[in-house]
Amino acid sequence: MSAPMREPTFWILTALAPEPRHGYGVIQEVARLSTGYLTLQAGTLYAALDRLTAQGLVEPDRQEVVDGRPRRYYRLTSDGAAALDAEAERRRASAEAATAQLAARRRFGLGLVSA
């Protein structure tokens, strides 16, 4: 069993799951998907994309020039999709465990907010 993914890694892979995106597109999609919970900075994103590329989880898809500036697109690899699937399952199981424990707390009349 591998170590849990860091939060930015999880969201970057999630953003790339349906289609290739360029860096700013990844930043926007991560903010949308995480409902603003995570806002990636460009430096953080590109360092992560370099690391994920080296690990074989993402790969460059294509490069376009927009307004005279290069825009590189990245896509999720099959290994990246498998890693994301495993992490999503781990997070789902963790959420189910927490939900069950909170339900047990309610059964004991303890509620969720302390007085």
Q: 61 and 16 in contact (C-beta within 8 Å)?
A: no
Residue 64: the pLDDT is 92
Mean pLDDT of the region 83-100: 96
18 backbone dihedrals φ, ψ, rounded to 5°: -80, -25
Q: How far lies 70's CA from each of 15, 36, 66, 97, in Å?
A: 20, 27, 6, 45
* CATH no. of 7-103: 1.10.10.10
Mean pLDDT of the region 29-55: 96
Output the pTM of the full model.
Answer: 0.87
pLDDT above 90 covers a percentage of the chain that reads: 80
Q: Does the pLDDT of residue 113 top 90, yes or no? A: no
pLDDT greater at residue 108 or residue 46: 46
pLDDT greater at residue 85 or residue 115: 85
CA distance 100 to 107: 11
